[in-house]
Structure formats: C-alpha cells, structure tokens
C-alpha cells in the first residue's frame, strides 16, 4: 500500500509540474503586456486610493492621491504633500509646514516604490504565479502573485490585479512578513493628457515664504 501511495504521489507531482510552469509563464506574459502598454503612453494620469493596515500594530490608515507621470518624471499629490521628480531631483512640498526639501535621487540605490516603479517594478526579482480571476463591477481582474526571490526581503508576497481587457493595473496588494498590508487601488487611469512644458519643473519663486531644506 505504501508503495502505491508513493507512486500516486510521484504521478501527481509530475502532472502538476508542467501546469505550474505554464501558470508562471502565463503570469510573466501578462505582466510583460502591462509593462509594454505603460511604456507605449506619452504620459499617464492616475487617481488612486491608498490603505495600509496591521492589526498587531494598531495601524489602519486610508488616503487618496493623484499622480501624473511621464517617463520617470512625476508629480504626486498625496496626504497633503506634493512631490515633484524632474528626473534628477526630488522636491517635497509641504504647505501645512510651509517647508520644501530638495534632494538628489539615485534610482539604483533606492528601494522606494515610486510612481514610475509602481507600474513596472515586477519586471525582475520575483517568482510569478497565476492567481484568481475576479469580476469587479463588470471588469475581469486577473491576479498575479509575486514572491520575492531575495529571502531577506521584508515582503512576503505581492498581488497585482490586471484588467484583462485594457492590460492596465487595477490594484496592488502587498503583504509584509510582519503582517502589514498595503493596498493601492487605481480609480482612474488616463493617458496622453495635454501637459504644459514645465509640468515637472519646480519653480522656487512660487513659494516665497517657504523654508527650503537642501539635503545635498
């Protein structure tokens, strides 16, 4: 009997392996389509909802924001703050404190999930798997699960929900090993909007009474 069980178990393992490989391949293809679609646009304007929670830490926070992105440049409005990245420097503008901080940005040294990375961060460093398909208000959202290849990564897993028709990201769900869950849901996704030439330019003269902290 034990020998039969071992044979059946081996058979199930062999049968399941191609399916798992196919699922990983399907997931990679879908995410590649998302990346290609994003890169095809001149610019993107997004309205989003952000939430972060962890019952163990008594953490439960929600907010809304907007971001306009062109290439790696962006203007982010979030939690009462405006952040401008012109491709070289980051400008954090806080009207409540009338303060502005200016710093250089090194993409290779930063693990920060910037708006530009948000739509393409999954291109490398993860193991992919096909997850559930959900119907959200008539839209078919296919989820892809990502598990970091780096075992020291604080992230346990990431779920990316993709609209199967538009190939746009619908939401991002990250679960950390400490139980913290971060969810970003895209409410509005507009492309190729008319933008002024100086849309991603910081103009210091607009903030005459602000304290400017130049970090480097």
pLDDT tens-digit series, residues 5-42: 343 343 343 333 344 456 788 888 898 888 888 889 99
* pLDDT (tens digit per residue) in 125-179: 788 899 999 999 999 999 999 898 888 889 899 899 999 999 998 998 999 999 9
Q: Which residues contact 121 (CB under 8 A, 6 or more apart)?
A: 113
34 near 144, Cβ under 8 Å?
A: no
Predicted TM-score (pTM) of this structure: 0.81
Domains recognised in the chain with CATH numbers: 2-214 (2.50.20.10)
Does residue 58 come out as left (phi exceeding 0), alpha (psi in the -120 to 50 range) or beta? left
- Distances in whole angstroms, Cα of residue 145 to Cα of each of 13, 160, 178, 204: 21, 7, 18, 43
Strand order in the sheet with 169-176: 126-136, 139-148, 155-163, 169-176, 181-191, 44-54, 59-70, 73-78, 81-85, 89-94, 99-104, 211-214
Task: Give the CB-side neighbour count of residue 9, counting CA atoms within 13 A.
Answer: 6
């Amino acid at each position: 009997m034990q020998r039969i069980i071992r044979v059946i178990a081996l058979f199930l393992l062999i049968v399941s392996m191609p399916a798992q490989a196919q699922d990983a391949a399907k997931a990679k293809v879908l995410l590649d389509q998302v990346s290609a679609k994003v890169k095809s646009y001149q610019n993107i304007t997004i309205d989003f909802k952000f939430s972060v929670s962890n019952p163990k830490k008594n953490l439960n926070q929600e907010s809304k924001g907007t971001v306009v992105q062109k290439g790696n440049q962006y203007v982010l409005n979030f939690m009462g703050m405006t952040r401008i990245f012109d491709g070289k420097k980051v400008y954090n503008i806080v009207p409540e404190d009338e303060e502005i901080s200016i710093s250089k940005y090194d993409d290779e040294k930063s693990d920060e999930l910037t708006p530009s990375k948000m739509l393409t961060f999954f291109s490398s460093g993860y193991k992919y798997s096909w997850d559930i398909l959900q119907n959200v208000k008539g839209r078919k959202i296919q989820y892809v699960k990502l598990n970091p290849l780096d075992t020291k990564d604080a992230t346990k897993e990431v779920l990316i929900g993709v609209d199967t028709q538009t190939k746009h990201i619908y939401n991002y769900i990250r679960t950390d090993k400490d139980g913290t869950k971060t969810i970003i849901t895209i409410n509005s996704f507009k492309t190729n909007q008319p933008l002024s030439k100086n849309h991603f330019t910081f103009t210091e003269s607009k903030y005459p009474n602000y304290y400017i902290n130049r970090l480097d």
